[in-house]
C-alpha cells in the first residue's frame, strides 16, 4: 500500500506501516515524492520504531537529487528496513525541471535512463553488471566513483512510466517499471509490450511492472468523482498525464476538474465500488501482466481520515483473498 498522505510528521506513517507489518497480503509500504519529509528518513524512522517492512518509492523526481545522493538514500532504505527496496525515479514535470534546474531536460527519457545508470554505478552492487568505462558520455549526470561498500539487501532501481518511450527505456535499464493512473487495458496494450521490447533489445529479462492504482470503497454519502479528484487532481493538470490518459481512451482535457475526475472513474483509472468490484479490477491488472499493485487510498484519507482508510483497505484485502492471483 501507498502511505496515503504526505507525512508532516514521521508518526503519521505509523498506522500504515503497522498494517503492512501485520497483513500477509501486503508485501510493501510505498511512499511518493515528498516536499516535506524525505522518504528515506521516514522509512528509517519506521524501522527504528519496530516496523521493519519492505519499502518502495513511487516516484522520486530526479531534479531534486544527484545520483550519488540517490544511491546513498536507496541503500539506506534497504539497510534500515532489512529488506530489498524498490526505489523509483522519474523526471517530474517540465515545470519542476525548470524550477530546480533552470531549464527542462532536452530529452526527459534519456535523462531518466542516464540517471538510473549513474545511480547504479554509484551503488556498485555485486549483482549488477560492471560499471561503464570512464570514457562513457554524460549528457545530464556524472556518477563519479562508486560509494564505499556497505552491506545491505538488494536495491531495485525503477523508472516511472507513462508512455511508450519511457516504458521501452525502463525495459532497457531498470529493474522495474512503475506506472501511475494507468488503466489495466493500457498496461496490457502499451506498457508491458514496450517494457518487454526494451528488455529484448538490451538482451536482458523483462523488468517487473508495478502499477499504483487509486481505489475507494463505495459507501453512502461518498462521491467517487470527488475522491478521484483528491487522489489524482494534481496529476490531471500535467500534460504528460493528460496525454497518457487520452491514449488510454480517457479524456481529461476538458478544463473541468470534476468532469476529468469522473472520467477517471468511468475509464477504470480510479477503482470505485464494492470491495468485490475493486478486487475484480485489480485482477485485471494481474491479467494485463502487472507483477505488483500499489493500493492508493489517498482520496479516502484526504476526505475521511485514517480509520476509514484502513477500513477500506481491510475490506479490499478480504475481497482479494478469494481470488486466484
Q: Is 124 contained in some domain?
A: yes
Helical axes 67-81 vs 108-123, angle rounded to 10° = 60
Q: How far apart are CA 205 and CA 76, in angstroms?
A: 27
Query: Which residue reads 479490477 in cell numbers?
Result: 281
Neighbours of 309 (CB within 10 A): 24
Q: How far apart are CA 312 and CA 214, in angstroms?
A: 12
**139: alpha, beta or left? (left if phi > 0; alpha if psi -120 to 50):** alpha
* Residue 274 CB contacts under 8 Å (≥ 6 apart), including other chains: 217, 218, 319
Instruction: Count how many residues are written for the chain.
Output: 325
- The pLDDT of residue 130 is 52
Q: Is 189 contained in some domain?
A: no
Q: How far apart are CA 30 and CA 48, in angstroms?
A: 17
Question: CA-CA-CA-CA torsion for 247, 253, 259, 260, nearest 10 degrees?
Answer: 50
pLDDT in tens, the chain (325 residues): 999 999 999 999 999 999 999 998 999 999 999 888 999 999 999 999 999 999 999 999 999 999 999 999 999 999 999 999 999 999 988 889 899 999 999 999 999 999 999 999 999 765 555 544 433 457 888 777 788 888 999 999 999 999 999 999 999 999 999 999 999 999 999 999 999 999 999 999 999 999 999 999 999 999 999 999 999 878 887 888 889 999 999 988 767 888 889 999 999 999 999 999 999 999 999 999 999 999 999 999 999 999 999 999 999 999 999 776 6
> Residue 2's beta-bridge partner residues?
30
ω into 278 cis (within 30 of 0): no
Give 110-131 as a DSSP string. HHHHHHHHHHHHHH--TTSPPP
If one counts the domains in the chain, the total is: 1
Q: How far apart are CA 300 and CA 310, in angstroms?
A: 9
Q: Is 192 contained in some domain?
A: no
Q: How far apart are CA 9 and CA 70, in angstroms?
A: 22
Q: Decide if 287 contacts 189 (C-beta within 8 A).
A: no
Q: Is 296 contained in some domain?
A: no
Burial of residue 137 (number of CB atoms within 10 Å: 0-12, 13-18, 19+): exposed
Q: Is 220 contained in some domain?
A: no
Instruction: Find the domain containing 76 and state its range.
Output: 1-161
Neighbours of 139 (CB within 10 A): 11
- The pLDDT of residue 324 is 64
- The pLDDT of residue 212 is 97
DSSP 3-state of 252: coil
3-state helix, strand, coil in the chain (%, to 5): 50, 15, 35
Q: Is 302 contained in some domain?
A: no
Q: How far apart are CA 35 and CA 304, in angstroms?
A: 23
- The pLDDT of residue 135 is 39
Q: Is 205 contained in some domain?
A: no
Q: Decide if 87 contacts 107 (C-beta within 8 A).
A: no
Of 61, 62, 58, which is closest to residue 85 (Cα–Cα)? 58
CATH number for 150: 3.20.20.30
Amino acid at each position: 500500500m501507498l502511505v496515503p498522505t504526505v507525512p508532516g510528521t514521521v508518526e503519521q506513517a505509523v498506522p500504515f506501516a503497522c498494517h503492512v507489518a501485520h497483513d500477509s497480503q501486503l508485501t510493501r509500504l510505498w511512499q511518493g515524492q515528498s516536499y516535506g519529509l524525505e522518504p528515506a528518513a521516514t522509512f528509517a524512522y519506521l524501522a527504528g520504531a519496530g516496523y521493519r517492512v519492505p519499502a518502495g518509492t513511487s516516484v522520486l523526481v530526479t531534479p531534486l537529487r544527484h545520483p550519488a545522493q540517490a544511491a546513498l538514500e536507496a541503500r539506506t532504505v534497504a539497510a534500515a528496513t532489512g529488506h530489498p527496496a524498490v526505489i523509483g525515479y522519474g523526471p517530474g514535470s517540465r515545470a519542476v525541471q525548470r524550477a530546480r534546474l533552470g531549464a527542462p531536460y532536452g530529452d526527459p527519457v534519456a535523462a531518466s535512463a542516464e540517471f538510473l545508470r549513474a545511480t547504479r554505478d554509484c551503488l556498485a552492487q555485486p549483482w549488477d553488471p560492471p560499471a561503464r568505462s570512464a570514457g562513457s558520455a554524460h549528457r545530464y549526470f556524472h556518477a563519479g566513483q562508486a560509494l564505499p561498500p556497505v552491506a545491505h539487501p538488494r536495491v531495485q532501481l525503477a523508472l516511472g512510466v507513462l508512455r511508450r518511450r519511457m516504458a521501452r527505456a525502463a525495459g532497457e535499464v531498470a529493474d522495474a517499471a512503475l506506472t501511475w493512473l494507468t488503466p489495466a487495458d493500457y498496461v496490457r496494450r502499451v506498457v508491458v509490450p514496450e517494457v518487454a521490447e526494451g528488455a529484448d533489445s538490451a538482451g536482458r529479462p523483462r523488468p517487473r511492472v508495478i502499477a499504483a492504482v487509486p481505489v475507494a470503497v463505495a459507501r453512502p454519502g461518498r462521491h467517487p468523482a470527488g475522491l478521484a479528484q483528491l487522489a489524482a487532481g494534481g496529476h490531471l493538470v500535467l500534460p504528460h498525464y493528460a496525454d497518457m490518459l487520452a491514449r488510454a481512451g480517457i479524456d481529461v482535457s476538458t478544463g473541468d476538474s470534476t468532469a476529468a475526475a469522473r472520467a477517471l472513474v468511468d475509464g477504470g483509472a480510479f477503482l470505485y465500488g464494492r470491495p468485490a468490484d475493486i478486487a475484480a479490477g485489480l485482477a485485471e491488472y494481474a491479467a494485463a501482466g502487472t507483477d505488483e499493485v500499489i493500493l492508493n487510498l489517498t482520496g479516502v484519507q484526504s476526505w475521511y481520515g485514517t480509520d476509514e482508510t484502513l477500513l477500506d483497505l481491510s475490506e479490499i484485502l478480504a475481497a482479494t483473498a478469494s481470488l486466484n492471483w
